[in-house]
Amino acid sequence: MATIKTDDVFSIASFDPSKLAESFREFAEKGAQQSKDAYAKLKTAGEEAGKTLEATVQTAQAGTVEIGLKAIDVLRVNAESSLSHMEALLGVKSIAEFVELQTSFLRKQAEIAVDQAKSMQETTKQVAEKLAKPSKEAAEKAMASFKVA
């Protein structure tokens, strides 16, 4: 019959501290490496976010200038149109001519206003798309880098 050793399970002599130290060292080294890798990814993501923010600010600045120039052009066109209308009103000979001139001017101004609004809307849309593009690309890149790990 086989004999079962019961004293090995509870025996201090079977405990090897070098194996425990080696396991702990491996665990600590693995944890340190994972921390270094996570820090490197975080650092890269932070640098990319800084670059994205800088690009976004530059795009916003350029977009603001573009919208501002468009608004100035709208104001210039409207001012010129109003001055031309005032000059035309000075040469009116009758009430009927005044009403006709005024009606024509208002109709033309309404058409111009609609065109100007469409133009401003399109410009604003383009600026918004340009503004969102770097942030969207950076977010997609960051998410992809974390998914790979």
For 63, other C-beta atoms within 10 Å of its C-beta total 18
pLDDT tens per residue, range 59-80: 889 999 999 999 999 999 999 9
pLDDT tens per residue, range 14-45: 666 667 777 788 888 888 899 988 888 888 87
φ, ψ (nearest 5 deg) of residue 110: -65, -40
- Could you give the CA distance from residue 81 to residue 87 in angstroms, rounded to a whole number? 10
**pTM here?**
0.61
In the structure encoding, which two tokens stand for residue 141, read together? Answer: 């890149």
- Could you give the CA distance from residue 110 to residue 13 in angstroms, rounded to a whole number? 99
